[in-house]
Amino acid sequence: MTTDEARRATAPNRAPVSGKVRTGRPRAHAAAVRPDSRVRPEHARRHNRALVLQALYRGEGMSRADIAREVGLTRVTISDLVADLISENLVIELGIRPDSRPGKPATLLDINRSGFSIVGLDLSHDAAFRGVVANLDGAVLVRGEVAVGNVSGQAALDAVCTLLDDLLARTTTPVIGIGIGTPGLVDLDGTVVSAPNLDWHDLPLQRVIAERYDLPVQVANDANMAAVGERSFGGARADMMLIRVGRGVGSGIVVGGQVVYGSGFAAGEIGHVIVGTDGGELCACGKEGCLETWLASPRIEARLAAAPDAEAREAVLREAGERLGISLGPVVGALNLGEVVLAGPQNVLGGALLEGTAETLRNRTMAELHGDLTLRMTTLGRDIVVLGAVVMVLTGQLGVS
Ligand SMILES: [Zn+2]
């Protein structure tokens, strides 16, 4: 999410959705969906500043003239913005461009990639909360973890603070923010609406951590964080879905480069959608044949352990892949996604399972419309959520991704 969207999402003058809206009166509806469109000077400046930082973040050493061309603003405006950014140490001068063009040689600029730190946490693993300190490029500088076992409620919140205390004490540059990927439903203000495994309900995690550490904080669902991480650091396309497989199954959906949250912040929660009409194993939720019963790691591991030979093991993986393909077909079709990325245990997901998913998707979607669909494993490994948390902070604080 961009800072603009974050502002719109929380804009106090946004008209509440009320019964009136549902009467279909055009003006009431327009008022409900249109954000505040007045452009204030400080907004324009903030926007232009983000454009400059984004150009530098994705560029490789640019002059002020290069930036002006790239973002479509005047040289004077760019020089003014750059002067401010240099005074804040967010932008640095690299030196003179080594070329032989006539005229005054250009000074190359870059975003100060190693001058600041971001702390990213991943609360989605059962045994431990994991965290990193990264620089603005997403290079991991420090790692930490806190064993959690069966902690929940206040004890789980205390464990988050223990991990943050440890990581923050080991930073060597100013920290621009903290990003936290947590399981469960998370609203746009970073309140954990519901995370049953941690026994968190309506916990305003983002506000609690921000007040305790006096730093900007971004809290989001772990699968959404993973999708954001894959998009920025894994080279994923702008219309993609990131499937996380572990003890459960979840996903993050990105459309037009933006995370889709859904009306109840549960977009991407595909784990308890029943796959097919032929039943299946009993799920923890009480239904039979949910995607999790086919795809969650413990279920697959149990079937693999019971399989008598290599052929039977391959059949187990292929069938799990087919069930994933069956559940993804309508999503890929409806949203015209360009890429589906799997994250989880490589030895389970990477071979016959991935092939089974790909074949099923091919058979169940229109080649003319979805022929360029890519299905692959993530390249970010276990860091996918913490890197997503880093991106969330980069976007929230600097407007870059
Ligand atoms: Zn279920």
Expressed in angstroms and rounded, the spacing between residue 247 Cα and the centre of ligand 1 is 12
pLDDT of residue 38: 62
Expressed in angstroms and rounded, the spacing between residue 156 Cα and the centre of ligand 1 is 25
Cβ–Cβ under 8 Å, residues 90 and 57: no
Expressed in angstroms and rounded, the spacing between residue 93 Cα and the centre of ligand 1 is 55
Fold of the 117-228 domain: Nucleotidyltransferase; domain 5 (3.30.420)
Expressed in angstroms and rounded, the spacing between residue 351 Cα and the centre of ligand 1 is 25
DSSP assignment letter at 383:
G
Phi/psi at 206 (5° precision): -60, -45
Phi/psi at 135 (5° precision): -90, -175
Q: Burial code of 163-175, b = ≥16 C-beta within 10 A, e = fewer?
A: bbeebbeeeebeb
Expressed in angstroms and rounded, the spacing between residue 264 Cα and the centre of ligand 1 is 18
Expressed in angstroms and rounded, the spacing between residue 297 Cα and the centre of ligand 1 is 14
Fold of the 41-111 domain: Arc Repressor Mutant, subunit A (1.10.10)
- Ordered by start, the domain boundaries in the chain are 3-33, 41-111, 117-228, 235-378
Expressed in angstroms and rounded, the spacing between residue 152 Cα and the centre of ligand 1 is 22
Distance CA 382, CA 386 (A): 9
pLDDT of residue 97: 82
Expressed in angstroms and rounded, the spacing between residue 289 Cα and the centre of ligand 1 is 7
Expressed in angstroms and rounded, the spacing between residue 248 Cα and the centre of ligand 1 is 10
Distance CA 180, CA 390 (A): 9
Instruction: Quote the pTM value.
Output: 0.86
- Predicted confidence (pLDDT) per residue in 110-134, tens digit: 999 999 999 999 999 889 999 999 9
Expressed in angstroms and rounded, the spacing between residue 290 Cα and the centre of ligand 1 is 5
pLDDT of residue 100: 60
Expressed in angstroms and rounded, the spacing between residue 371 Cα and the centre of ligand 1 is 31
Burial of 260 (0-12, 13-18, 19+ CB in 10 A): middle
pLDDT of residue 126: 82
Q: Which CATH number fits domain 235-378: 3.30.70.260, 3.30.420.40, 3.40.50.300, 3.40.50.920?
A: 3.30.420.40
Expressed in angstroms and rounded, the spacing between residue 350 Cα and the centre of ligand 1 is 24
Positions of the chain with pLDDT lower than 50, given as ranges: 1-35
- Assess whether the region 41-111 and the region 235-378 belong to the same CATH fold: no
Expressed in angstroms and rounded, the spacing between residue 250 Cα and the centre of ligand 1 is 12
Burial of 372 (0-12, 13-18, 19+ CB in 10 A): exposed
Expressed in angstroms and rounded, the spacing between residue 272 Cα and the centre of ligand 1 is 4
DSSP assignment letter at 399:
S
SS3 string of 280-321?
A: CCECCCCCECEHHHHHCHHHHHHHHHHCCCHHHHHHHHHHHH
Expressed in angstroms and rounded, the spacing between residue 282 Cα and the centre of ligand 1 is 8
| CA proximity to 55, closest of 70, 69, 74 | 70
Expressed in angstroms and rounded, the spacing between residue 324 Cα and the centre of ligand 1 is 14
pLDDT of residue 372: 85
Expressed in angstroms and rounded, the spacing between residue 291 Cα and the centre of ligand 1 is 7
Expressed in angstroms and rounded, the spacing between residue 64 Cα and the centre of ligand 1 is 55
Expressed in angstroms and rounded, the spacing between residue 249 Cα and the centre of ligand 1 is 10
Expressed in angstroms and rounded, the spacing between residue 284 Cα and the centre of ligand 1 is 6
